[in-house]
């Protein structure tokens, strides 16, 4: 990739097919501002359009992943402000862009993920957490209901009763409990987090990207379908997947008894 966009509130680094987006307001635990949401959306657009990017990692600088909406910025709004519009123009677009990105997204959860920051972590395809990570729904702490897709993702991941308990109490869930609940895929020591995620992202960057993208498309779609429709949708998507170069390469490599060389096409 030649022209990497430059940002103020996030870092955007691309190397070896992996784009790493780092929320970069460490003094405020990477609390999300309007400019940060805009920059995140722009970075995700680049991830979608740039063919050489085959995996995305989202993480936070410093000791937090993200403490959610920056409450100082939010506190400054006056006049005819609509929180609904704030969500529609900001977090809703961001969460939808993450789900629509047909490339794997790993949330590297280095520290606390709260409110809309939790929303970002949950909208990723996988969550790898440091033992120092924690998860706080946070909305109820300021008298609010969930937003940023947290209601939708949380109850699918851990079930409605557990989701309700976490949303209604706002209590902090530490990494080990998050693993037991199914909120994260893996917990590793803080020292091992970078290497664990780098190894996983490196594997995804060599994987059949279109097949992974279509997998994501199927999972997104079938969740709202009855079985018969889901089966039909799978059949339609498989008609697309079977045309990819990586499918042909996978079958050929199998018969030639060699490791496949996937190009992501
Ligand atoms: C913060 C924040 C923060 C600003 C820590 N903002 N500075 C959408 C639309 C509209 C409205 C509202 O919301 C939403 C979606 C949402 O995200 S709602 C949820 C918003 N987030 C929260 O309510 C979480 C507030 N933060 C906390 O509860 C704690 O900070 C957590 C549990 C995340 C971490 O606790 P600690 O590890 O003890 O850190 P800390 O509280 O000491 O924070 C460190 C610094 O970060 C501190 O600044 P300072 O200058 O005093 O060192 C905090 O003020 C700042 N910070 N969260 N959301």
CA-proximal residue: ligand 1, atom 53 (nearest): 28
* Whether pLDDT at 3 is above 70: no
Look up tokens 């993450």; give the residue. Answer: 98
Closest ligand 1 atom to 74 CA: 11
- What average pLDDT does range 66-92 have in this prediction? 88
> pLDDT tens digit string along 97-141?
999 999 999 999 999 999 999 999 999 999 999 999 999 999 999
Report pTM. 0.96
Mutate to test the pocket of ligand 1, among 23, 25, 29, 142 (most ligand atoms within 8 A of CB): 29
Instruction: Identify whether the C-beta of residue 30 lies closer than 8 Å to the C-beta of residue 67.
Output: yes
Strands (E), the chain: 10-15, 18-23, 55-60, 64-66, 105-109, 112-114, 126-130, 134-136, 173-174, 186-188
Residues with CB under 6 A from ligand 1: 28-29, 31, 67-72, 74, 83, 86-87, 112, 114-116, 136, 138-139, 141-142, 144, 147-148
Instruction: Pull the structure tokens for residue 233.
Output: 């949708």
Instruction: Identify whether the C-beta of residue 34 lies closer than 8 Å to the C-beta of residue 69.
Output: no
pLDDT confidence of residue 67: 98
pLDDT confidence of residue 5: 74
Distance of alpha carbon 171 from the chain centroid: 22
Length of the chain: 265
Phi, psi of 48 (to 5 degrees): -75, -40
3-state secondary structure 4-51: CCCCCCEEEEEECCEEEEEECCHHHCCCECHHHHHHHHHHHHHHHHCC
Max Cα distance, the chain (Å): 68
Instruction: Pull the structure tokens for residue 16.
Output: 């070896």
> pLDDT tens digit string along 15-45?
999 999 999 999 999 999 999 999 999 999 9
pLDDT confidence of residue 249: 98
> pLDDT tens digit string along 140-178?
999 999 999 999 999 999 999 999 999 999 999 999 999
pLDDT confidence of residue 77: 66
* Whether pLDDT at 206 is above 80: yes
pLDDT confidence of residue 170: 98
Express as a percent the part of the chain with pLDDT over 90: 94
Q: What 8-state DSSP symbol labels residue 171?
A: P
Question: 71 C-alpha to center of ligand 1: Å?
Answer: 7
Express as a percent the part of the chain with pLDDT over 70: 97
Closest ligand 1 atom to 148 CA: 15
């Amino acid at each position: 990739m030649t022209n990497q966009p430059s940002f103020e509130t996030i870092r955007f680094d691309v190397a070896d097919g992996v784009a790493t987006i780092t929320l970069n307001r460490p003094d405020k635990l990477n609390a999300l501002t309007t400019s940060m949401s805009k920059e995140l959306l722009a970075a995700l657009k680049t991830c979608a359009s740039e063919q050489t990017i085959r995996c995305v990692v989202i993480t936070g600088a410093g000791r937090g992943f993200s403490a959610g909406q920056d409450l100082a910025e939010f506190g400054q709004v006056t006049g005819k402000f609509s929180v609904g519009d704030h969500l529609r123009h900001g977090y809703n677009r961001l969460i939808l862009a993450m789900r629509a990105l047909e490339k794997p997204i790993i949330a590297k959860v280095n520290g606390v993920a709260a409110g809309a920051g939790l929303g970002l972590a949950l909208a990723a395809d996988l969550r790898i957490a440091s033992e120092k990570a924690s998860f706080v729904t946070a909305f109820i702490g300021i008298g609010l209901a969930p937003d940023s897709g947290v209601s939708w993702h949380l109850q699918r991941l851990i079930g409605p009763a557990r989701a309700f308990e976490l949303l209604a109490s706002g209590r902090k869930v530490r990494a080990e409990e998050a693993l037991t609940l199914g909120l994260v895929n893996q917990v590793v020591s803080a020292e091992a987090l970078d290497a664990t995620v780098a190894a996983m992202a490196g594997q995804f960057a060599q994987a059949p990207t279109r097949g992974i993208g279509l997998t994501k498309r199927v999972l997104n779609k079938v969740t709202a379908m009855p079985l018969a429709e889901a089966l039909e949708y799978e059949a339609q998507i498989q008609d697309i997947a079977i045309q990819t170069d990586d499918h042909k390469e996978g079958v050929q490599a199998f018969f030639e008894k060699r490791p496949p060389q996937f190009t992501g096409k």
